[in-house]
Chain A
Amino acid sequence: MTESLRLEVFSPVHRILSEAVSSVYFTGDSGVIGVFPGHAPLVTTLKTGVLVYAQQNTSGFLLIAGGVAEVTGDKVILLVDVAETAEQIDTNRAQNALERANQRLSSSASDESIDKVRALFAQQKAQARLEAAQLYVNRKKSEHH
């Protein structure tokens, strides 16, 4: 498979990624979207989730939380609010965050002071972080064998 797609990911403070890839998957407004070369032009908002991109021999993973994406011809540009590469993710912190969010969500039924939307968002983000980290670990393992 040729790497004829240009994937660029920007956050407001950094350029996070600029790679030639053969395919990309990310969570768009209506679910996971797979982009291969020759994809029809598309503009979509992004939901919290894991972005997976494939290159000839390898693949990469990013956590993405909110943003917009544009697919034009052979270019995929993602303007994200927050993104982390799988290498950067601190699994312990994500695990703690997930537990905290779950706890808040379960007690939000009785406690009015808890912002349910924020807790939900935090939960999603932590889950996606863990997922991205897990994918990364799995890939490393398979490379060793």
Chain B
Amino acid sequence: MPASLKDLRTRIKSTKNTQQITKAMKLVSAAKLGRAQHQVFESRQYSRNLDALVSRVVSYLHGNLNHPLLQEGTSKMACLVVISSDRGLCGGYNSSVVKQTTRLKEELDQQGFSTKIVCLGKKAFQVFARMRRLSQNKFGEAKVLTEADYMTNPSELLSGDGLVQVSLSFEKPTFEMARSLATAFEQLYSEGKIGKLCVVFNQFQSAMTQIPTSKNIFPVNPEHVVSTAEPTFEPELLDLLDSLLPRFVASKIFQSLLEAVASEHGARMTAMDNATRNGKEMERRLQITYQRARQAAITRELIEIISGAEAV
């Protein structure tokens, strides 16, 4: 028995303390998940209706996609928006978006794109910064942008050696946040600075399952539907698209953000639940070891006393 009784007691105490923390974190995440889930479901209705509307409206162009946001970009620069979390302790949440991003990046490399990465959330940014450090053996610039930065100059999003972090509040994602990002990217796309934009995030399915997903934003490529009788457009079709498509893009980004936030809480809840369970198991084993050690010590002491008494 290598560990002394005192050591074992301290370890048992500390596993108990850890369990309390993980249990509390689970409860907090469960409460936050409830709210986030509600938001996701509410906003899915808007985005689903908008998706359908955009698909229908675009179908009346009859393949003649003469709106700049619908056309394939000329630039061979792709930009990936990666939504991760600011905080850890959420299981595989962050690593699964990173993996998905790496896979997508390789695909884009093969298609001849060079990629820039914009991270929403600290965690993915840290991982990519470390990857860069290991592969190029140098410290890149750690660039953190705020909303004001990319609002005044959208090309800031492509700076920082192709890796930047946008700091935003995951506690309360607002549509305005998504819209300002969307506007900045829209400008970059229409100026031809990027030819492709994707978001990578965890799609929320349930507290147990989050699916790493990537969605194309630019060029805007709505689902194909068969066009029915043409409705009246006010204003006319192309002007209508001018106000429809930016909303479509903002709604996509907003929806991804909400899905990601709900997924984060779900993932953390599950991870902390597992941690609590593992903690319990560990405590049980330590308890057994402790009792065995204690019994052994008592027996040893008894033997010593008895043999001492016999000797007299």
- Contact across chains for B247 and A43 when beta carbons are under 8 A apart: no
**Is A45 an interface position by the 8 A CB rule?**
yes
CB contacts under 8 Å to B, within A67-82, are 67-68, 70-72, 77, 79, 81
B298 within 8 A of A: no
Evaluate whether A15 and B45 lie within 8 angstroms (CB atoms) in the complex, with A44-B234, A68-B243 already known. yes
Say whether B43 faces chain A, with CB atoms less than 8 Å apart: yes
CB distance from B2 to the nearest CB of A (A): 58
Known: A72-B231, A79-B247. A10 touches B45 (CB 8 A): yes
- Whether B240 and A43, one on each chain, are in contact in the complex, defined by CB atoms closer than 8 angstroms, is yes
> Which residues of A pack against B, CB within 8 Å?
8, 10-15, 28-30, 40-45, 67-68, 70-72, 77, 79, 81
Interface residues as binary, B32-73 with A (CB distance below 8 Å gives 1, 0 otherwise): 000000010011011101100100010000000000000000
Docked complex Cα distance between A26 and B257 (Å): 31
Which chain B positions have C-beta within 8 A of A40?
231-232
* B254 with A70: CB separation less than 8 A: no
Q: Say yes or no for B229: interface residue by CB 8 A criterion.
A: yes
Q: Is B308 an interface residue (CB 8 A)?
A: no
- The docked-state distance in angstroms from the alpha carbon of A63 to that of B244 is 20
How many whole Å from A45's CB to the nearest CB in chain B?
5
A43-B43 in contact (CB<8A): no
In the complex, what residues of B have CB within 8 A of residue A29's CB? 234-235
Determine whether the beta carbon of B240 is less than 8 Å from that of A42.
no
Chain B positions within 8 Å of A79 at CB level: 46, 49-50, 53, 247
Nearest Cβ distance between residue B219 and chain A, in whole angstroms?
20
> Which label, helix, strand, loop or mixed, suits the secondary structure of the A interface?
strand
Q: Count of A-B contacts with CB under 8 A?
A: 74
Bound-state CA distance A11–B230 (Å) is 26
B237: nearest chain-A partner, CB-CB: A43
Known pairs A13-B43, A15-B42, A79-B53; A43 contacts B232 (CB<8 A): yes
Nearest-neighbour CB distance to chain A for B268, whole angstroms, equals 23
Q: Are A44 and B233 in contact (CB under 8 A)?
A: yes
Instruction: Tell me, yes or no, whether B22 is within 8 Å of chain A by CB.
Output: no
CA distance A38 to B231 in the complex (A): 13
Q: Count residues on chain B whose CB falls below 8 Å from chain A CBs.
A: 25
Apart from A43-B233, A43-B234, A45-B244, list 17 A-B contacts with CB within 8 A. A12-B254, A13-B175, A14-B43, A42-B232, A42-B234, A43-B231, A43-B232, A43-B240, A44-B233, A44-B235, A45-B243, A67-B247, A70-B53, A72-B231, A77-B49, A79-B46, A81-B175
Of the A-B pairs whose beta carbons lie under 8 Å apart in the complex, a sample of 29, sorted by A's number, is A10-B45, A10-B46, A11-B46, A12-B43, A12-B47, A12-B175, A12-B251, A14-B43, A15-B42, A29-B234, A30-B235, A40-B231, A40-B232, A41-B229, A41-B230, A42-B232, A43-B57, A43-B233, A43-B234, A44-B233, A44-B240, A45-B243, A45-B244, A68-B240, A68-B244, A68-B247, A70-B53, A72-B231, A77-B53
**Which residues from chain A contact B49 at a C-beta distance below 8 Å?**
8, 10, 77, 79
B181-224: CB near A (< 8 Å → 1, else 0) gives: 00000000000000000000000000000000000000000000
Q: How many angstroms from the CA of A67 to the CA of B175 in the assembled complex?
A: 13
A10-B46, A15-B42, A79-B247 as given contacts; A45 in contact with B231, CB under 8 Å = no
Instruction: A40 to B39: give the CA distance in the assembly, Å.
Output: 34
Contacts of A68 in B (CB 8 A): 50, 53, 240, 243-244, 247
Nearest to A8 among chain B residues (CB) is B49
Q: How far is the CA of A30 from the CA of B232 in the complex (A)?
A: 12
- What is the minimal beta-carbon distance from B206 to any residue of chain A, in angstroms? 22
Are A45 and B232 in contact, CB atoms less than 8 angstroms apart? no
Q: With the chains together, A45 CA to B50 CA distance in Å? A: 13
9 A-B pairs with least C-beta separation: A41-B231, A44-B234, A12-B175, A10-B46, A29-B234, A42-B232, A45-B243, A12-B46, A29-B235
Q: Smallest distance from the beta carbon of B251 to chain A beta carbons, Å?
A: 6
